Structure 1
């Protein structure tokens, strides 16, 4: 058993983290920059909003389709090759978007960006989890959580500034110098040889034909439900087809002789299953708050888009301060102590917004946002670290794919639920302040559920050689006997 404080992050790992943070931050920042600029793009291309919104939807759906494939690609070609491919696709897609001549071309080029983004985020976590090992998982995941949290927060601020002072093309051109620098640094820093376990098997064609369209169906259904409601025909069809495809993939993955894209047998490892479940809840809480808070400031407090985006910065500051602390503590005490405490703080700090109304003290709300960000750091980083402490190294790509798919679905579901709550309350004749108060109460409940779910996470890490692969094999053998 190693020192309970874990190991320090040395020079090579620190450089690797820095280089991969640069590429990961670029992809996360750009997604929300474009969301802020939807109105600007609609005016420039003289296109209706329901058309131009596909610039955001196409990116999200392509991202969902690419994520499951990234794990196989890392095992097959190595993390460095997949990382460089993701950077190249995203940077090239950004240039093409800036050159788009109509809305259709822009949507098509956003698909290219989505392919790159879908390779970048899971590959980043897979490479770093393997490089850090279980002893440094907490600190490493804490650092990598910074771009994952700050990107969606700073995106609206950057988008507001660009749309106010620069041409629309700069929403995409801003990625070019970052992408070129990230590629140049990755060639030098990202290791050429990444352990690939037993992943050099045949490509799971049936799996990708089931899982990727299934993820697209669920994500599309949830995104459309946010405005049309769950009863709309297109929403029902998308969700039913998506869930049926994912169910068919589950049957295939448990029976296939070909290594599946996402190994569902890992869910037999209870600490891992608890970790990915909590990460789905984290996605829902984080993105619902990122949606609600700026909208509250715009619709209830009459702030502009840029001002509302700037009022998210305190949450980013809290997350930036909290994650390194949470990472160090995670390597000592584990997620079971930190995550419930973080969830409880999120619930308490969100209470202020339930009572804010039209004249709530802005300084108090900003302080609560700092606390929320700090608590999110104590939830996200330890949970991600527990994911990589509870699976064998050869299963890291598959574990990352499951983590990301569930986190994205949780995020989409969180935004959908609060959107429908707002619409329902306003349709009942409630004013904006009352409607937002109700939505924030639901966020308090969601944060409390997150705190309770955190009790199922692993406790103090032991850093002994993991044996979860045996548990997964045992569960698979029992399943085979029952079948």
Structure 2
């Protein structure tokens, strides 16, 4: 075969690009939804008269649903067909979005987010499968470049879009905006996706599902309840964690027996997959957990609008946009063990600035730090994911990426819970105001009042207080954020330990060893 014919076969033709359009549209909906909601948390606190720990469940419930449905998506795609299942996922996500906009209580909103997460959890894995079947494994590099678009747009566009919708309309519109997009996506999918030809090749591991999915959900529920209780000794925390952990351990012991387990843990025999997964797990606990608090700092300490907070987060996405294409290209030429530590160093440098925040920290410093962190993030995620998958046989990649995806979701939940617990406990240490209680009868602290005044200045007209009390409360609240960011910073430093074991020599990729074009499901960040 000539070089010209090889190059021609590597190009993504019109038919593949049409399919890519469907997948990118669904991925943008799913990823934007996470970043849009992140800037709305303080609004939910105010609208539903809820604590930060309670509204954080709007993020956690979505993640729980993702973790529950991801193990099923690979088998279901083979059993029912990818087109049919992808359209069902779009319907669930769009329906969940519409219901979220009708929520009258924080409990209803959390419940509807579960429905949304069941659809969103299938959109990315199924989209990757559809794309890879259309493009073929020999075009996996170009495919990843196309699918990187929503990963770049999410961190930039989500906070800005969410802030603008909340400021100009209402919080309901961060969910209503998905209705027309979902409708267009359904029509587009019906017209552009190839007709299903389901060929069930494996029996479904029902016993594995009965252990793994409920086990993950219970374990993550226990972790996510920590911010509300503030202690692991509370029965609402340890009981589901213990039961969920027992089910997961039972699945681990059982999973080596069936020929086709729901989650193939045998793949951890591959050193590169194991090292990359551990690196990704520690990194996500640190970066994603603390990342949820960045918008809250701008909103609660500086009193910015949601739109401004979203705009202030944009440098991080821009930084990732600069380095992600370069890192993806280098990952095929330079061993990731030689590049990822430099990217992690950029993240650590940028992160350190947030450990020094106070009530008056310069925006130039913070935005510059976010940009540097974005540069590091773009140089970390893609190479580590590539390292996890590239040395697997092509028929193992779908199972390997499912494995990494599950670990990733657990890391995100652990990180969010850990950072929320630390921040909540720090804020609760603020001095209570004598005689002042909230509608639930709990004492009002100086930090709590200062944050409320920053978000609703009219409160000062209703309840005049000494300005020095507000200043003292803001200083304490800013110090609480700084302490929480210190934990994230230490965890970023801890990521250097597993990263030191990433491959430092070029190793052959086995993705092309199997000439049959099987479904490949690259890792998708939610």
Per the TM superposition, whether the score is higher than 0.5 is: yes
Cα deviation, 1:274-310, whole Å, max 9, x if unaligned, reads 2222222332233223223222223443434332232
Q: In structure 2, what is the Cα distance between the partners aligned to 1:176 and 1:283? A: 30
Preserved contact between residue 294 and residue 309 of structure 1 (Cα < 8 Å): yes
Which of 407, 430, 443 is the aligned partner of 2:488? Answer: 443
CA RMSD of aligned residues (A): 3.3
- 2:247 equivalent to 1:248: no
User: What SS does structure 1 have at the residue aligned with 2:379?
Assistant: helix
Cα deviation, 1:417-474, whole Å, max 9, x if unaligned, reads 2233334444566823333333333323222222332233345353456779xxxxxx
Offset at residue 54 of structure 1 (A): 5.5
- 2:105 equivalent to 1:59: no
Superposed counterparts of 1:15-54, under 5 Å: 15-34=18-37, 36-37=39-40
Q: 260-269 or 156-165: which moved more?
A: 156-165
Q: TM-score, normalised by structure 1?
A: 0.84
Unaligned runs of 5+ in 1: 469-483
Match of 1:472 in 2: none
Q: In structure 1, what is the Cα distance between the partners aligned to 2:419 and 2:59? A: 19
- Alpha carbons of 1:448 and 1:124: their partners in 2 closer, same or farther (altered >3 Å)? farther
Match of 1:177 in 2: 180
Q: In structure 2, what is the Cα distance between the partners aligned to 1:445 and 1:165? A: 39
- Alpha carbons of 1:111 and 1:288: their partners in 2 closer, same or farther (altered >3 Å)? closer
Preserved contact between residue 215 and residue 405 of structure 1 (Cα < 8 Å): no
Preserved contact between residue 285 and residue 412 of structure 2 (Cα < 8 Å): yes
Offset at residue 325 of structure 1 (A): 1.6
Match of 2:368 in 1: 367
Preserved contact between residue 215 and residue 243 of structure 2 (Cα < 8 Å): yes
Which of 77, 102, 114 is the aligned partner of 2:80? Answer: 77
Superposed counterparts of 1:314-393, under 5 Å: 314-393=315-394
Match of 2:218 in 1: 217
Preserved contact between residue 281 and residue 410 of structure 1 (Cα < 8 Å): yes
Offset at residue 180 of structure 1 (A): 2.3
Q: In structure 1, what is the Cα distance between the partners aligned to 2:480 and 2:378? A: 28
Preserved contact between residue 315 and residue 372 of structure 1 (Cα < 8 Å): yes
- Alpha carbons of 1:37 and 1:85: their partners in 2 closer, same or farther (altered >3 Å)? same
Q: In structure 2, what is the Cα distance between the partners aligned to 1:98 and 1:243? A: 34
Aligned residues: 462
Match of 1:313 in 2: 314
Offset at residue 133 of structure 1 (A): 6.0
- Alpha carbons of 1:367 and 1:140: their partners in 2 closer, same or farther (altered >3 Å)? farther
Q: 291-300 or 8-17: which moved more?
A: 8-17
Match of 2:521 in 1: none
Match of 2:296 in 1: 295
Q: In structure 2, what is the Cα distance between the partners aligned to 1:185 and 1:332? A: 37
Q: TM-score, normalised by structure 2?
A: 0.77
Which of 139, 145, 156 is the aligned partner of 2:159? Answer: 156
Q: In structure 2, what is the Cα distance between the partners aligned to 1:161 and 1:392? A: 46
Tell which structure's C-alpha radius of gyration is larger.
2
- Alpha carbons of 1:244 and 1:289: their partners in 2 closer, same or farther (altered >3 Å)? same
Q: In structure 1, what is the Cα distance between the partners aligned to 2:337 and 2:135? A: 21
Which of 453, 456, 464 is the aligned partner of 2:498? Answer: 453
- Alpha carbons of 1:54 and 1:436: their partners in 2 closer, same or farther (altered >3 Å)? closer
Superposed counterparts of 1:74-223, under 5 Å: 74-98=77-101, 107-128=110-131, 136-148=139-151, 150-151=153-154, 154-192=157-195, 200-223=201-224
Preserved contact between residue 340 and residue 453 of structure 1 (Cα < 8 Å): no
Q: In structure 1, what is the Cα distance between the partners aligned to 2:493 and 2:154? A: 25
Cα deviation, 1:339-362, whole Å, max 9, x if unaligned, reads 222111101121222234333332
- Alpha carbons of 1:97 and 1:295: their partners in 2 closer, same or farther (altered >3 Å)? closer
Q: In structure 2, what is the Cα distance between the partners aligned to 1:272 and 1:382? A: 12
Q: In structure 2, what is the Cα distance between the partners aligned to 1:27 and 1:271? A: 29
Match of 1:462 in 2: 508
- Alpha carbons of 1:152 and 1:14: their partners in 2 closer, same or farther (altered >3 Å)? same
Q: In structure 2, what is the Cα distance between the partners aligned to 1:290 and 1:438? A: 14
